[in-house]
Structure 1
Amino acid sequence: MTVIGLTGGIASGKSTVSKLLAAHGFVIVDADIAARQAVAKGTEGLKQVEAVFGPEAIEDGEMNRRYIGQQIFHDEEKRLALNSIIHPIVRDIMEEEKQTALAAGHPVVMDIPLLYENELEATVDEVWVVYVTKDVQLERLMTRNDLTEEEALARIASQLSIEEKKARADVVIDNNGSLADLERRIKEIVAEYYKSH
């Protein structure tokens, strides 16, 4: 069975694509979910975050995401410190889920937002990129997260450009249209996948 790396830019519609692929029998291993598990209440990961970022990093026994977000968005050193805590734990969680699914004979989709940024292409057999133009991305991100244009652009700029991701993809999933368009595209991709694997 194949391991597919699914990625895209922020607000490109990756979680919608994941749901559609799951409906077609793919097992989704989600890096965002694993990242939340890595710093869940009472975990070793959360203790390490508190040790590095101080007591303000914890709110009601959980990671204060807003505070941490403010800390890391403009400070490369703090972002790297957070990543060095979370990434190894996330890798272990995802590897275990992947092996379980493969052993059961399912194709696996590793949903990894920063797949290229963290140079994880070698950990998957092929990369599928959910693609939207930068204008669509900006509009959706501002709407979804209630951000100003400046805030949204800063988040987009913190990732590799969507055009670069598209150029490096094995499969491009265009999500500039409606949900119905996306569903049609996924059907085509899945049919093609099952034919060739």
Structure 2
Amino acid sequence: MRVIGLTGGIATGKSTVSNLFKANGFPVVDADVVARLEPFALEQWVITDTHDVLKKGTGGWRKVVAAFGEDILLENGEVDRPKLGQIVFTDPSKRQLLNRLLASYISYGILWEVFKLWIKGCNIIILDVPLLFEAKMDRWTNPIIVVWVDPETQLKRLMERDRTSAQDAQNRINAQMPLDEKRSKADIVIDNNGSLEDLNENFRKILDQVSKPLTWTEFWLSRQGAIVAIVSIFSGVLGCKKLVARL
């Protein structure tokens, strides 16, 4: 099975690329949508709506409440996501604390989603994770795709998208790993400085690369490979028993 890592930065167009993969029939494990702490768009951690790591009563919820206090809760006991987002965006140490508290729950949720797709027989999966490198999830993926724009374009698009000030937008950008550092770690870079048409063209150029036949290592990690291995082992054992019986 081939697990392709997809990452980028805020306002780089990563979600657009993720949607292009979906439109082309690729299953996507999205770790960005459900737990986003609007209006601050904290690109924090979602797996699916059934694995919301901050949902009331979950282990992640209990750890976060213990660390940040009950002041971050709404009247119904759920986390006030905008309030928590404001806290962690203005204090890097608290943002790192939040990431540490939730890391194990996030990893479990992602692995569970990948396992379900493995059971279904999917051979190629897109793992869409904003903090792919920060969470060390890049070790699970190959190749790694980074959606990149230059700093000026990123700032301009973020300000236009969220109608925020330059300072607020820059603070949110600074809260993430620099895009150039992510680009240096990538196997494939999608330059998204141009138009949507340019992005579509760049995307089409990488489709053949990510869709090429599985390597033998990837095949043996797929469901089909596992079945072949089990059948081969069973046949070998059965053959040995027959051979011994004849002696």
Structure 1 and Structure 2 fold alike (TM over 0.5): yes
Q: 1:55 aligns to what? A: 70
TM-score normalised to structure 2 length: 0.73
Root-mean-square deviation (CA, aligned residues, Å) is 1.8
Please tell me whether residue 13 in structure 1 is matched to residue 5 in structure 2. no
Structure 1 CA distance for aligned equivalents of residues 135 and 182 of structure 2: 13
Mapped contact 1:3–1:107 kept (Cα < 8 A) = yes
In structure 1, stretches of 5+ residues that fail to align are none
Q: 2:189 aligns to what? A: 172
Please tell me whether residue 127 in structure 1 is matched to residue 123 in structure 2. no
Structure 2 CA distance for aligned equivalents of residues 143 and 41 of structure 1: 33
Structure 2 CA distance for aligned equivalents of residues 158 and 44 of structure 1: 25
Moved more, 135-144 or 63-72: 63-72
Mapped contact 1:129–1:171 kept (Cα < 8 A) = yes
Match among 177, 194, 203 for residue 186 of structure 1: 203
Moved more, 79-88 or 32-41: 32-41
Give the SS at the match of 1:17.
helix
Amino acid at match of 2:62: K
Q: 2:101 aligns to what? A: 85
Amino acid at match of 1:48: K
What pairs up with 1:10-159 in 2 under 5 angstroms?
10-32=10-32, 33=34, 35-36=45-46, 37-59=52-74, 60-103=76-119, 104-159=121-176
Give the SS at the match of 1:128.
strand
How far does the alpha carbon of each residue in 1:52-99 deviate from its partner, in whole angstroms, 9 at most, with x for none? Answer: 212221124332122112221232332232112211111101001112
Amino acid at match of 2:66: A
Amino acid at match of 1:113: P
**Structure 1 or 2: more strand by fraction:** 1
Alpha-carbon distance, 1:147 to partner: 1.7
Higher-Rg member (1/2): 2
Moved more, 131-140 or 59-68: 59-68
Report which structure shows greater RCO (CA 8 Å, sep ≥6).
1
Mapped contact 1:14–1:130 kept (Cα < 8 A) = yes
Structure 1 CA distance for aligned equivalents of residues 93 and 181 of structure 2: 25
Give the SS at the match of 1:38.
coil
> Would you say how many aligned residue pairs link Structure 1 and Structure 2?
197
Structure 2 CA distance for aligned equivalents of residues 18 and 130 of structure 1: 10
Q: Residues 97 and 71 from structure 1, CA distance in 2 versus in 1: closer, same or farther, beyond 3 angstroms? A: same
TM-score normalised to structure 1 length: 0.90
In structure 2, stretches of 5+ residues that fail to align are 36-44, 47-51, 215-247
